[in-house]
Structure 1
Amino acid sequence: MYAIVDIETTGGKFNEEGITEIAIYRYNGHEITDQFISLINPQREIQPFVVNLTGINSNMLRNAPKFYEVAKRIVEITEDCIIVAHNSAFDYRILKTEFKRLGFTYKRKTICTVELSKQLIPDMESYSLGKLTKALGIPMSDRHRASGDALATVKLFKMLLNKDLDKTIIKDAVKIEQKSKMAPNLNNIVDEMPSDTGVYYIHNADGEIIYIGKSKNIRKRIIQHFTGTNSKSKKIQKLVSTVTYEKTGSELAALLKESAEIKKNKPIFNRALRRSIFTHALYAFTDSKGYINLQIDKSDRDDAPITTFTTRASGKHFLFKAVEDYNLCQKLTGLYNTKTSCFKYEVKECEGACINKESAEDYNKRIEQLKDKYSYDNKNMLIIDKGREISEKVVFLIENGIFKGMGYFNLNLQINNSKILKSVITPMQNDRDSQHIIQSYLRRNKRLKVIDLYKN
């Protein structure tokens, strides 16, 4: 659990500042669960430049509560939380100073979104909250007021959690929370799970991730883990301390994150991933007469496939349909073994490429149409899919046929802007597994929005 904090102060000498306004949003990594926003009477003078910056003056604070009147509420809302702030060293110091004046030691773990942004979103022109949120397309209102700045920090932190493929932030949070908790009841864990698409992480008592999975219904899948009777399920049930999750909206996003994060975290209950799932692929080669032939083969070849399949049977099923859709030759697609004409030619449904009656140039045009639709080799494109909320989408970036990464953006954002696009995208590995996942998803989801990135 996190407490996203922003504090406005009087300014003045170091450790002599007073709080004029505070906003705290209790955040579980997915949504705000509680909030506290209040002006504070600092009982001291406000520096003129601060009045100009925030618009908060002494008249506004005359009837505001003093810090000791809200101290208990601040302790309660930040209990068992990590304090998250943009430049947390400042906000945390101010809080500790105020509590010290009351004779109370205030101690919390902290996360600084300035430092986190520098790690996860390098090479930005500025890491000030205003400029950073603008560059990332994060909407912001009431700049230099506690509530506006804290809400913007919530949205920034949500983006940073998504970019943290190593799951360092979540693992540290789980470790802190579990120290003060008894062994959890499995039913309580299930009750906290959403029925949404996403990736889930099963942790032991030390916060370590012992299993990563993806599902279109996270809650249903966790129930299966906790009620399963096979050896792996029983071991997980014995070791599980908590389960965290990340909603993705898009199934493609879930598949890619699952694949990438298993490789990075190497959980003990995840088998060597994915490569065995896509066992077969569709390949193209040109024969001695210049005709492009298609062939279903095992997916472990060095040459790039057009698309991939979980079984040879599903590959052949795809090929039979492709023959119909693109008026292809059964012989040149490996579906009809003959030294003469194919069956479709005999029934006047093939143009005769099998016996050189149709020119290789004409026939190959239709093959290229198929390749263009189902392969992203050498393409520059954006794949757009549904996001975690109605107001956002997820984008997958492919440049020169190489998968670069994915990220979320608000619908009012001009995603074609290269600067904004690069800041939104979380870089991900372009390996064989990600290629298989994307190709298979593109083939199965024909209504997916695909944008030619550099098309005029």
Structure 2
Amino acid sequence: MLKNAPKFYEVAKRIVEITEDCIIVAHNSQFDYRILKTEFKRLGFGYKRKTLCTVELSKKLIPGQESYSLGKLTRSLGIPVSDRHRAAGDAMATVKLFKMLLTKDLEKFIVQDAIQVEAKSKLKPSLKRIIDELPNSTGVYYIHNEDGEIIYIGKSNNIKNRISQHFTNTSSKSKKIQLQTAAVTYEETGSELIALLKESQEIKKNKPLFNRALRRHIFNYALYSFTDDNGYINLTIDKADGRKHAITTFSNKQSAKHFIFKAIEEFQLCQKLSGVYPTKSNCFNYTIKQCSGACIQEESITDYNNRVKQLIDKNSYTNKNMLIIDKGREVDERSVVLIKNGLFNGLGHFNLNYQITNMDVLESLITPMENNRDSQHIIQNYLRKNKNLKIINLNQH
């Protein structure tokens, strides 16, 4: 295979050019970098580059693996590999592994270190040049200052357009961001749900300077249930209270009311027992024969409560084990959100060639995340608005 390959001195100039101002990423980078430096030394050239090792990063970001060899690690993470032990096959496997590690790095230490090196070795780029290099795709973006620190995190269905808005806006906050911007990095997610969840968690972890003003809960109202003295399950909308168990949450009262009116129609619920028609007698829908009379104890408690339970089950993932499957970053990829025992566990991407219900592979490719009220709201809100999502129910292990 190497019989007709070029000698090192014939490709040395090209290697210098393509690695200039770059960081060399390799699986066991010490070995690869040592070979490169030795070959350049023989030519009398002092070759120096910054390196990143995917073995070391994997040990930090994906602990507990049986082996960190490229073959075994990619297999356990569900990363498809073709042409193993050939240069192109191993390089592509390392690229896919590195992409996964960037996703798992919620504190963004990999990117921040890289920006620090890059920003100090170049003149500050123009904001227009930064915009030109961004994609028109869905994902999370990170605005950095010249020390590599993240000063703002956001998400968008069109990263290029959103950054362009930041850089052309004349508000005082936007002007401050414009003055301090040295670089913008981004992570394509394919799915808006993944972007929303990553944005929420990474703002909490990194506490960027210009996100600190956004100390708002993204949900303000919630849907609760209680059983009345007659045994019927009642629904009520109230201000969100973390001490009470909510069925689902809403950004504002208007969206909560819209939801409950649609639910009354879909599940043939009583207006009075759903909290939208205060009365001591029957509700209005009973008068026009669209309510079976739970408001005046005419309908069987079991029949009525079963329909309310269907509504609750559809809009809450309490005690459920399931996967939410959504768009991926490429045609042959999908994103996945893992819910275990009713709790948000994490998210990831997987190749369509892999059996996603294999729990060992699933646990490895998932980036673990904190289950909090914000993430619950994001997931429930997204499920409500996107009816065609694929849901895989998992058997409890």
Instruction: Name the counterpart of 1:186.
Output: 127
Q: What SS class does the counterpart of residue 30 from structure 2 fall into? A: helix
Q: What SS class does the counterpart of residue 187 from structure 2 fall into? A: strand
Instruction: Name the counterpart of 1:226.
Output: 167
Which whole-Å deviations, capped at 9, do the CAs of 1:257-311 have from their partners, x for residues lacking one?
A: 0000001110000036575221111111111221111111111241221111111
d(CA) in 2 for partners of 1:275, 1:363: 37
- Is 1:137 the equivalent of 2:44? no
- Is 1:348 the equivalent of 2:292? no
Q: What SS class does the counterpart of residue 205 from structure 1 fall into? A: coil
Instruction: Tell me: CA distance 1:265–1:82, structure 2 relative to 1, closer, same or farther (3 Å).
Output: same
Instruction: Name the counterpart of 1:394.
Output: 335
Instruction: Name the counterpart of 1:160.
Output: 101
d(CA) in 2 for partners of 1:382, 1:273: 30
- Is 1:360 the equivalent of 2:327? no
d(CA) in 1 for partners of 2:395, 2:289: 41
Instruction: Name the counterpart of 1:236.
Output: 177
Tell me the CA shift for residue 252 of structure 1: 0.4
d(CA) in 1 for partners of 2:157, 2:85: 40
Superposed, 1:303-322 pairs within 5 Å as: 303-322=244-263
Structure 1 residue identity aligned to 2:350: F
Are the aligned partners of 2:323 and 2:337 in contact in 1 as well (CA < 8 Å)?
yes
Instruction: Note the residue ranges of structure 2 that are not aligned, 5 or more in a row.
Output: none
Are the aligned partners of 1:259 and 1:273 in contact in 2 as well (CA < 8 Å)?
no
Instruction: Name the counterpart of 1:45.
Output: none
- Is 1:68 the equivalent of 2:14? no
Instruction: Name the counterpart of 2:324.
Output: 383
Tell me the CA shift for residue 454 of structure 1: 1.1
Of 395-404 and 170-179, deviating more is 170-179
d(CA) in 1 for partners of 2:94, 2:242: 47
Aligned length: 397
Of 298-307 and 89-98, deviating more is 298-307
d(CA) in 2 for partners of 1:294, 1:117: 47
Instruction: Note the residue ranges of structure 1 that are not aligned, 5 or more in a row.
Output: 1-55
Which whole-Å deviations, capped at 9, do the CAs of 1:319-369 have from their partners, x for residues lacking one?
A: 011101100000011100101111111111111111111122111100000
Instruction: Tell me: CA distance 1:376–1:275, structure 2 relative to 1, closer, same or farther (3 Å).
Output: farther
Instruction: Name the counterpart of 1:116.
Output: 57
Structure 1 residue identity aligned to 2:177: I
Tell me the CA shift for residue 101 of structure 1: 1.5
Tell me the CA shift for residue 134 of structure 1: 1.4
Hey, which bits of structure 1, 4+ residues long, moved more than 3 A?
271-275
Are the aligned partners of 2:217 and 2:374 in contact in 1 as well (CA < 8 Å)?
no
d(CA) in 2 for partners of 1:455, 1:128: 31
d(CA) in 2 for partners of 1:111, 1:229: 39
Which protein, 1 or 2, shows the higher relative CO under an 8 Å CA cutoff with sep ≥ 6? 2
Structure 1 residue corresponding to 2:23, chosen from 65, 70, 82: 82
d(CA) in 1 for partners of 2:114, 2:49: 12
- Is 1:206 the equivalent of 2:147? yes
d(CA) in 1 for partners of 2:247, 2:337: 19
d(CA) in 2 for partners of 1:334, 1:371: 15
- Is 1:265 the equivalent of 2:206? yes
Percent of aligned pairs with the same amino acid: 70
Give the CA RMSD over aligned residues: 1.4
Structure 2 residue corresponding to 1:451, chosen from 388, 392, 396: 392
Structure 1 residue identity aligned to 2:100: M
Structure 1 residue identity aligned to 2:300: S
Tell me the CA shift for residue 167 of structure 1: 0.8
Q: What SS class does the counterpart of residue 211 from structure 2 fall into? A: coil
Structure 1 residue identity aligned to 2:21: D
- Is 1:339 the equivalent of 2:313? no
Are the aligned partners of 2:221 and 2:249 in contact in 1 as well (CA < 8 Å)?
yes
Q: What SS class does the counterpart of residue 237 from structure 2 fall into? A: strand
Which whole-Å deviations, capped at 9, do the CAs of 1:144-171 have from their partners, x for residues lacking one?
A: 2222211111111111111111111111
d(CA) in 2 for partners of 1:306, 1:387: 29
d(CA) in 1 for partners of 2:272, 2:344: 34
Structure 1 residue identity aligned to 2:296: I
Mark the structure with the bigger radius of gyration. 1
